[in-house]
Structure 1
Amino acid sequence: MTTMADVARRAGVSVATVSHVLNDTRPVRPGTRAAVLGAIDELGYTHNTLARSLVTARTRSIGLAVSAISNPYFTEILQGVEASALEAGYSLLIADPHDDPVHERKVVQLLHERRVDGMIVAPSAEPSEMTGYLARRSVPTVFLDRLVGDDHDQVCAENTGPVRQLVEHLAELGHTRIGLVAGLPGLSTTTERVRGYREGLRARGLPFAPGLLAGGNSEAEGAERATHQLLAAPEPPTAVITANNAMTIGALRALAARGLQVPRDIALACFDDFSWADLFAPRLTAVAQPSKDIGAGAVRLLLERLADPARPPRTLRLPCTLVHRTSCGCPATGPADRHPLSPSPAPATPPAAQERNRTP
Structure 2
Amino acid sequence: MGSEMCIRDSPHTRQAVLDAVEELGYTPNTLARSLVTARTRSIGLAVSAISNPYFTEILQGVEAAALECGYSLLIADPHDDPAHERKVVQLLHERRVEGMIVAPSPEPGELLAYLKRHEVPAVFLDRLVGSPADDRPLFDQVCAESTEPTAGLVTHLAGLGHRRIGLVAGLPGLSTTTERITGYRHGLAAAGLPYDERILVHGDSEAAGAERATAELLRLGSRPTALVTANNAMTIGALRALRAHGLSVPGDIALCCFDDFAWADLFSPRLTAVSQPSRDIGARAVQMLLDRIADPGRPTRTERLPCTFVHRTSCGCPEERNPS
Bin for the TM-score computed over the shorter chain: over 0.9
C-alpha offsets along residues 304-354 of structure 1, whole Å, 9 cap, x if unaligned? Answer: 0011000000111000011100000000129xx778xxxxxxxxxxxxxxx
- Alignment of 1:133 with 2:114, yes or no, is yes
Identify if the C-alpha distance between structure 1 residues 36 and 140 changes in structure 2 by more than 3 Å, giving closer, same or farther: farther
The residue that corresponds to 1:94 in the other structure is 75
Distance 2:145 2:225 in 1: 26
* Larger-Rg structure: 1
Distance 1:101 1:278 in 2: 36
The residue that corresponds to 1:192 in the other structure is 179
Is contact 1:64–1:93 with CA below 8 Å preserved after alignment?
A: yes
Is contact 1:170–1:328 with CA below 8 Å preserved after alignment?
A: yes
The 5 Å alignment of 1:39-118 reads: 39-118=20-99
Identify if the C-alpha distance between structure 1 residues 20 and 151 changes in structure 2 by more than 3 Å, giving closer, same or farther: farther
The residue that corresponds to 2:215 in the other structure is 228
* 1:37 positional shift: 5.8
Distance 1:192 1:113 in 2: 34
Distance 2:204 2:12 in 1: 56
State the TM-score, normalized to the length of structure 2.
0.93
Paired residue secondary structure (1:86): helix
Distance 1:167 1:332 in 2: 19
Distance 1:330 1:52 in 2: 60
Paired residue secondary structure (2:246): coil
* 1:55 positional shift: 2.4
Distance 1:126 1:313 in 2: 21
Identify if the C-alpha distance between structure 1 residues 128 and 279 changes in structure 2 by more than 3 Å, giving closer, same or farther: same
The residue that corresponds to 1:19 in the other structure is 5
Identify if the C-alpha distance between structure 1 residues 19 and 267 changes in structure 2 by more than 3 Å, giving closer, same or farther: same
Q: In the alignment, residue 106 of structure 2 is paired with which amino acid?
A: A
Identify if the C-alpha distance between structure 1 residues 306 and 238 changes in structure 2 by more than 3 Å, giving closer, same or farther: same
- Alignment of 1:165 with 2:159, yes or no, is no
Is contact 1:164–1:196 with CA below 8 Å preserved after alignment?
A: yes
Distance 2:234 2:13 in 1: 54
Q: Any unmatched runs of 5+ in structure 2?
A: 131-136
Q: In the alignment, residue 57 of structure 1 is paired with which amino acid?
A: A
Identify if the C-alpha distance between structure 1 residues 37 and 152 changes in structure 2 by more than 3 Å, giving closer, same or farther: farther
Distance 2:184 2:13 in 1: 59
Is contact 1:158–1:319 with CA below 8 Å preserved after alignment?
A: yes
C-alpha offsets along residues 177-205 of structure 1, whole Å, 9 cap, x if unaligned? Answer: 00000000000000000000000000111
Distance 1:63 1:85 in 2: 10
Identify if the C-alpha distance between structure 1 residues 201 and 299 changes in structure 2 by more than 3 Å, giving closer, same or farther: same
- Alignment of 1:327 with 2:308, yes or no, is no
Match of 1:286 among 269, 273, 276: 273
Identify if the C-alpha distance between structure 1 residues 288 and 38 changes in structure 2 by more than 3 Å, giving closer, same or farther: farther
Identify if the C-alpha distance between structure 1 residues 330 and 184 changes in structure 2 by more than 3 Å, giving closer, same or farther: same
Q: In the alignment, residue 175 of structure 1 is paired with which amino acid?
A: H
Is contact 1:68–1:96 with CA below 8 Å preserved after alignment?
A: yes
Identify if the C-alpha distance between structure 1 residues 322 and 38 changes in structure 2 by more than 3 Å, giving closer, same or farther: farther
Identify if the C-alpha distance between structure 1 residues 35 and 108 changes in structure 2 by more than 3 Å, giving closer, same or farther: farther
Distance 2:209 2:51 in 1: 18
Match of 1:145 among 97, 108, 126: 126
Query: Which stretch of structure 1 is more off in the superposition, 43-52 or 284-293?
Result: 43-52
Q: In the alignment, residue 210 of structure 1 is paired with which amino acid?
A: E
Question: Size of the alignment, in residue pairs?
Answer: 317
Is contact 1:183–1:216 with CA below 8 Å preserved after alignment?
A: yes
Paired residue secondary structure (1:19): coil
Distance 2:94 2:80 in 1: 21
Match of 2:296 among 309, 323, 327: 309
- Alignment of 1:181 with 2:192, yes or no, is no
Identity %: 73
Q: In the alignment, residue 74 of structure 2 is paired with which amino acid?
A: L
- Alignment of 1:276 with 2:247, yes or no, is no
Distance 2:268 2:99 in 1: 44
The residue that corresponds to 1:15 in the other structure is none
CA RMSD, Structure 1 to Structure 2 (Å): 2.2
Distance 1:32 1:174 in 2: 77
Is contact 1:321–1:338 with CA below 8 Å preserved after alignment?
A: no
C-alpha offsets along residues 242-268 of structure 1, whole Å, 9 cap, x if unaligned? Answer: 000000011001100111110011000
The residue that corresponds to 2:134 in the other structure is none
Paired residue secondary structure (1:92): strand
C-alpha offsets along residues 45-99 of structure 1, whole Å, 9 cap, x if unaligned? Answer: 1112222212221100001001111111000000000000000000001001111
* 1:42 positional shift: 2.5
Paired residue secondary structure (2:172): coil
